[in-house]
């Protein structure tokens, strides 16, 4: 078999309907649009229009908003920090700051600061200085014999994990 001998199965393809090509085509004159009225004309835009009545999408109340003052922290879990220490990408003996975390590749960008969360296990003794941490993360670092310093304390409601 050659490429020029290939063809679809009978009935697999359907030719498009040619509208407005005379009375013999079956779709001449009105072209399947019915008779008269707004919908039979071109340039119709009546999707949400309700004849002058206030449309449903405008009658319903608006919900939610984006708070422009919210802080967006780069989140670091303790388990991931331990992984980077084990892979020797971060030196646990030196003090670890937000800049150190960016240089190691653990954090892509600082944003409004780095926040440490207590997911995972931390066995290394580390000296961390970051702009946010959960209470359980502080406890886990101190349990491992390290020290976690929070430079700008987050609000009380953001403190819980």
For residue 128, give the H/E element and its range. strand 127-130
Whether 153 has a pLDDT exceeding 70, the answer reads no
Q: What is the pLDDT of residue 5?
A: 95
Question: Which among 159, 108, 105 has a CA at the least distance from the CA of 137?
Answer: 159
Give yes or no for a contact between 108 and 127, defined as CB atoms under 8 angstroms apart.
no
Q: Which of 11-25, 81-95, 105-119, 141-155 shows the lowest per-residue confidence on average (mean pLDDT)?
A: 141-155
When the pLDDT of each residue in the chain is averaged and rounded to a whole number, the result is: 87
Q: What value does the mean pLDDT take over residues 64-71?
A: 90
Give yes or no for a contact between 132 and 158, defined as CB atoms under 8 angstroms apart.
yes
Whether 10 has a pLDDT exceeding 90, the answer reads yes
Q: What domains appear along the chain, each with residue ranges and CATH number?
A: 74-154 (3.100.10.10)
Q: Which of 34-43, 128-137, 149-158 shows the lowest per-residue confidence on average (mean pLDDT)?
A: 149-158
Give yes or no for a contact between 116 and 158, defined as CB atoms under 8 angstroms apart.
no
Question: Which among 118, 120, 147, 151 has a CA at the least distance from the CA of 135?
Answer: 118
pLDDT confidence bin for 12, thresholds 50/70/90? very high
Q: What value does the mean pLDDT take over residues 47-75?
A: 89
On whether the pTM is more than 0.85, the answer is: no
- Could you say which DSSP state residue 69 is in? T
User: Cα Rg for the chain, rounded, in angstroms?
Assistant: 33
């Amino acid at each position: 078999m050659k490429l020029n001998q290939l063809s679809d199965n009978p009935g697999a393809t359907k030719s498009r309907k040619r509208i407005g090509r005379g009375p013999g085509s079956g779709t001449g004159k009105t072209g399947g649009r019915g008779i008269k009225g707004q919908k039979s004309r071109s340039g119709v835009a009546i999707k949400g229009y309700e004849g002058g009545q206030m449309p449903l999408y405008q009658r319903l109340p608006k919900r939610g908003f984006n708070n422009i003052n919210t802080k967006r922290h780069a989140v670091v879990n303790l388990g991931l920090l331990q992984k980077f220490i084990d892979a020797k990408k971060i030196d646990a003996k030196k003090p670890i700051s937000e800049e150190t975390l960016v240089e190691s590749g653990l954090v892509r960008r600082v944003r409004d600061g780095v926040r440490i969360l207590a997911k995972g296990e931390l066995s290394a003794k580390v000296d961390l200085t970051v702009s946010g941490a959960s209470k359980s993360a502080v406890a886990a670092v101190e349990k491992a014999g390290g020290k976690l310093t929070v430079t700008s304390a987050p609000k009380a409601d953001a403190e819980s994990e």
